[in-house]
Every structure is written in structure tokens, then in C-alpha cells.
Amino acid sequence: MTTLIDNPVLRSTRAEVLRLRRWPAVWVLVAVWIALALVFGYLFPYLSYRTGDLSFAGDGDTRAQLLVEMLPAAIPTVLVQGLPMFGGALALVLGAIVAGNGYGWGTWKTVFTQGPSRPATVGGSLVALTLAVLGSLALTLVLFLGVSLLVAGTESQAVTWPSAGAMLESFGGGFLVLEMWALLGFALGTVARGPALAVGLGLVWALVVENLLRGVGALLGPVEAVTEVLPGTAGGSLVGALVDVSSNPNETPGVLDVLTGSQALLTVLAYCVGLVVLVLVVVRRRDVT
Amino acid sequence: MNDLVVQTDGLTKRYGERLAVDSVSMTVRRGEVYGFLGPNGAGKTTTLRMMLGLIRPSAGTVSVLGRPAGRPDVIARVGALVEGPGFFPYLSGRDNLRTMARYRDLGDHAVDAALERVDLTDRAGDRFKAYSLGMKQRLGVASALLGDPELIVLDEPTNGLDPAGMADMRALVVSLARGGQTVLLSSHLLTEVQEICDRVGVINGGRLLREARVDELRGEATLRVRATPEDAAIAVAMRVAGENAVSRTPLGLELELAAEAAPALVRDLVAAGVDVHEVSPTERSLEEVFFEMTTEAPTTKEKVA
């Protein structure tokens, strides 16, 4: 009999949610993400708008444009434009500590002797990680709504809402990009059996190596082909498609138009699926000490 | 009818060139307290890990509760503390157990009961990382007790405990066995095993040297004889006890004979013109048995023959 209550993945998910919810490190990452998103999405543009110093905008925006980008109608764009750089990096760190710390603490050893099979246990952990990513993005969205309403009120602007379709697209796309990075972190933490190497290598890869490769790729054809399938390229291009970067130049770092929206979406999805499979295969067979 | 809770057959774990566990075949019976005894690095923990499905054997098989070890339905009926307690340092003791209880689909009631059992209720709200070594160990045991599993595997459960804590732990293990649970306990402390275990398996260098009841191991009583001249005494002793049953120790001769054989032995010694200074029955402690088994060349004893 496999009822919903008896489901081992569900049991593991409940256990993992409990321990993630009470983990200060998780809340630190969420707080940093939200602070960065608010600072770059609203605070800096607002300061730039108020002072009339447009050098921050950088991409030739006028004051009027700056204001428009802070109003509720622009939320779908603001929500995702920070994801390729710090959003993805923070999600990677989150995934890496969720998976990696358990090896040093010996908690995976304890958890693997509780009953649910290893795929079910790790599956539950992945579901809990996904919930954390979803929750953070939802929290961000709520805060952005509040701040943009505040801007509209302060600057006496009429409130126009973004279309539901645009909101869904932005939220869904942003979630997938974050989820891909979180899964990449989880996979690295699992393979490395610890958070330090996973976080270090993951961040160097995401923030340095990919950018270098894209630089080289612009000059060398074969390298360019490789850069097109990298996670950063895929995530950046997906966000680029969401904010329509090709017709609306945006110099936010990491936002790209290398791939079309559908190519980018497929690549991101392929990473998500492939990383989950990798994690399950590695954990199922390994010796845990 | 299968009352073997654990059965290993030729269980082997090889790390590169090194054999950590070398064809161990052991059995744990239902309802007993089984002591798994050996010095550090003997292969105890590696064997236990294979029983729990944490690592894969290089060769051989383990069955637990009649099924291959490591299957989810088996693991759910086993509670374990292996090689030190592994918990989330940022969670309180209670939240750590609640996390494990969720994996087992148990409620908070089971958590409170387990905390009570190891006397941690008062400190259950403190973070795990603030616990002393002994408290961490007790939390590990509490986690192994969650849900009253049929088999409880405790790897060195008294590590880090003070003498009072050790006594409490021994009492707990005995009460678990009285309640019908099977306990498999590893230890390098002989007194611990001697007091609470029904049977022991002695392991050293990855090999299971002996598996027997505690009283069987100790039961091979000996007679100590101090007599002169020694040569004549040895000759008589070997005639009475057998060629291989006599050894020379710093305290005199040691004969593998029961105490009842003493009068006849003394008569024969006297008849052979030997002066008998002392004859005393000695019962070996488990410690002696253990060191005899685990040290390759006995230093204080030499066989006469």
C-alpha cells in the first residue's frame, strides 16, 4: 500500500524542509539575494533617478525610462535580470551546502539508515531545495510588488499591472534558471562530498571561466560552439529572452542573447534533468562513511 | 523459524590492497545482546556499515532480519549509531530527532520518548553543536531507539561517556534486551562486554577470530601449579593434563585442567618426588582471552612442548 502519507519521498521531503527551514545559513543566502536584488533593481535606479546622475543606468536610459523600469509594470523584467549573475551564484551555493555539508557532518550516514531508499532520500532533499528556490523567488516577487507600488505612490504615477502572462513567464523562467544553478551546486556538493570545493569550483566556473570562454569563443569558432551549451550561456540567454534584450539593450552582466529563447529554455531544462539523474546515480551506488 | 537477526557469510571489504574485513561469518540471534569486540581498526565499524547497507561488500553476503542488508524495508526495522553521532549542528537535539522521525514517519511522541530514555529531555532544546561529547553520543543512541526497531546497532556507544554515563548506557542496553529487542554492540572495552553481552564475536585485523558465549570463552579454567624441581613437575603435569595443555608462566605452570583435577594431580606430583608449593584454580578474565587471541605472539607465556 502506497498512500500519499506513506510515500518515502514525501517523508524525506518533510524531514528536509524541517532542517532547511531552521538552518541560519539558508536564511543568510535568501537575505543576501533579496538585499542585492532590491539594491540593484530599485535602490540604485531610484538614487540615479532622484539625483539625475544617469551614469548608473549606463545603457542610455533617460530619467523617464528609469522611472518606468521601477513601476509595477516592469516587475517581470526586474525580477529576472539579477538572476544570471548573483542569483545563480547564490543558488549554486545553496545547492552545494545542502548536499555537501551532510558528508562532513555525517548526517547523510544517519539519514541513510532511517528507512527511505537513497533515491527517495535524495529525491526528498531535491524537492526541499526546489521549494526553497521557489519560496525565495516568491518572496522576492512580493517585496518587488511592494517596492514598485511605493515608487509609483511616491512619484505620483498611475499604477498599471504587468499582464498575467508576462508575470508567469518571468516567474517560471527565473525559477528554472535558479533551479538549474541550485541543482548544479547540489551535484557538485554530492560529487565533492563537501561544500568547500563545490562552492569554490562552482563559483569560479560560473563567474569567471564561462565569461572567459565566451570571450575566447567570440574569436574562435570551435570554442564558441562549446560556450553555447554552457549553463551560464543558457541561463543568461533565457533571461535575455524574457527581458527582450536584443530589442531593448540592457547591460546587466550575464544577460545574453546568444541563444534564442526556446533554445535556451531547452538547454536549461536539459541541465535540470541531467543533473538530477547524475545526483541519483552517484548517490545510489556510493559507499557512505 | 529463522531466529538469526544478522547473518554474514564470507563478508569481505577490500580498500585497494588492504583487506579491512576478511571473510567474516557471524550470526546474531534474536533477543540477545551481541558484543562485537576488537581493538581500534580491527574492522568492527566497516562490518557494521556493510550490515546497514552504507557500504557495499567486496565479497560475501549479509542478511539482516532474513533479507539482504540495506533494503529500505530492512533498514526501517533497524536503528543504528555508527562511528559517532552524525547530526545537524545548527539544530537542537530535539529538532535533529524530529528530522529523523519524519524520515521514519514517526510523530513527536516517539522523539520525546527517545529523549527521555537517554536522559536528554532537559537539554533537548540546546543546539547539537553546544553538546558535550557524551551528550552527542546519547543523542545518537536516542536516534537509534526511535520507533523501537527490532535490531539496534550501537557502535562504541560508551565513547566519550563518563563512568556514570557508561553505567547508565549499560543499564539501557540490558533493558532493551529485556524488552525483546536485539542489540548488536561493538566495543573495545572488555568489562563492558563481559557484563552485558550474551555472546561475543572477537575480531582483529579484519578476521573474526572467535564467536562464542561469554561464559564459554572465559570458562576454560586452568590450574596454576608452583612446584620444584620444575622439570619433574612438567613431566608429571604433561602426563596428567596432556602434552599441549601445560604452559610455563612467570607465576608457575599453567595447566588446562578443571579445579576438580587438583587432588589427583597433587598426588601424582608428590608420588614423583616433586615438592608442591602452591596449587590454585584460576578463571581467566575475558581480557586475558582477548589478548591471547588478538596478539600474535604471547609474550608472557611460552608453550613447554
- How confident is the prediction along chain B (305 residues), in pLDDT tens digits per residue? 358 999 999 999 999 999 999 999 999 999 999 999 888 888 999 999 999 999 999 999 999 999 999 898 999 999 999 988 999 999 999 999 999 999 999 999 999 999 999 999 999 999 999 999 889 999 999 999 998 999 999 999 988 888 888 888 899 899 888 989 999 999 887 777 888 899 999 998 899 998 988 878 776 678 889 998 988 999 998 988 888 888 888 888 888 888 888 899 999 999 999 999 999 888 766 677 777 777 754 444 555 54
The burial class, CB within 10 Å (0-12 / 13-18 / 19+), for A205 is middle
Structural domain total, chain B:
2
Residues B259 and B197 occupy one common structural domain: no
Measure CB to CB from residue B104 to each of A106, A114, A289 and give the nearest one. Answer: A114
User: Quick one: B192 and B235 in the same domain?
Assistant: no
Residue B145 lies in a domain: yes
The span from the CA of B152 to the CA of B146, in Å, is 10
Given a cut of 90, is residue A95 above it in pLDDT? yes
Angle subtended by helix axes A8-21 and B93-103, to nearest 10: 160
Of B214, B246, B261, the residue that ends a domain is B214
How far is the C-alpha of A33 from the C-alpha of B265, rounded, in Å? Answer: 88
Query: Averaged over A200-209, what is the pLDDT?
Result: 91
On chain A, the residues whose CB falls within 8 A of the CB of B98 are: 18
Q: Is the pLDDT at A133 greater than 70, yes or no?
A: yes
Is residue B293 in some structural domain?
no
Residues B10 and B56 in one domain: yes
Q: pLDDT at residue A59 above 80? A: no
Nearest to B86 among A5, A6, A110 (CB): A110
Residue A56 has pLDDT above 70, yes or no: no
Question: Minimal Cα–Cα distance from B182 to chain A, Å?
Answer: 17
Q: Would residue B48 count as lying in a domain?
A: yes
Contacts with A59 (C-beta within 8 Å, 6 or more apart), sequence order: A249, A250, A251
Q: Does B290 map to a domain?
A: no
Pair B129, B226 in one domain: no
Same domain, B160 and B258: no
CA distance A28 to B36: 45
Q: In terms of domains, do B109 and B200 share one?
A: yes
Q: Are residues B267 and B198 in the same domain?
A: no
Q: Which of B161, B193, B214 is the last residue of a domain?
A: B214
Average pLDDT over residues A163-186: 95
Residue B220: per-residue pLDDT:
66
Q: Is residue B14 part of a domain?
A: yes
* Predicted local confidence at residue A26, as pLDDT: 96
| Residue B236 lies inside a defined structural domain of this protein | yes
Buried/exposed code over B205-227 (b: 16+ C-beta within 10 A; e: otherwise): bbebbebeebeebbeeebbebeb
Instruction: Answer yes or no: is B289 within a domain.
Output: no
Instruction: Give the domain-ending residue among B162, B186, B214.
Output: B214
Compare CB distances from B102 to A14, A22, A120 and report the shortest one's residue. A14
- What pLDDT, on a 0 to 100 scale, did the predictor assign at position B298? 45
* CB–CB contact B102 A288 (8 Å): no
Mean pLDDT computed over every residue of chain A = 89
Per-residue model confidence as pLDDT tens digits over A139-166: 999 999 999 999 999 988 888 899 999 9
On chain A, the residues whose CB falls within 8 A of the CB of B86 are 105-110
Q: Which residues of A touch B85 (CB under 8 A)?
A: 106, 110
**How many angstroms separate the CA of residue A37 from the nearest CA in chain B?**
27
What is the grid cell recorded at B68? 539482504
Residues B129 and B45 in one domain: yes
Question: B interface mutation test: which of A14, A110, A117, A287 has the most B CBs within 10 A?
Answer: A110
Enter the pTM of the model. Answer: 0.86
Q: Which residues of B touch A109 (CB under 8 A)?
A: 54, 82-83, 86
* Residues A240-278: tens digit of each pLDDT: 888 877 666 666 777 888 888 899 999 999 999 999 999
pLDDT surpasses 90 at A184: yes
Based on the domain organization, do B27 and B100 belong to the same domain? yes
Statement to judge: residues B75 and B99 lie in one domain? yes
* CATH code (residue B23): 3.40.50.300
Per-residue model confidence (pLDDT) at position B250: 85
Domain carrying residue B227: 221-283
Whether residue B76 and residue A114 make contact (CB cut-off 8 A), yes or no, is yes
- pLDDT over 70 (residue A58): no
Residue B239 and residue B146 in one domain: no
My answer on whether B55 and B145 are in the same domain is yes
B88 lies in some domain: yes
Instruction: State the first-to-last Cα distance of chain B, in angstroms, to the nearest integer.
Output: 46
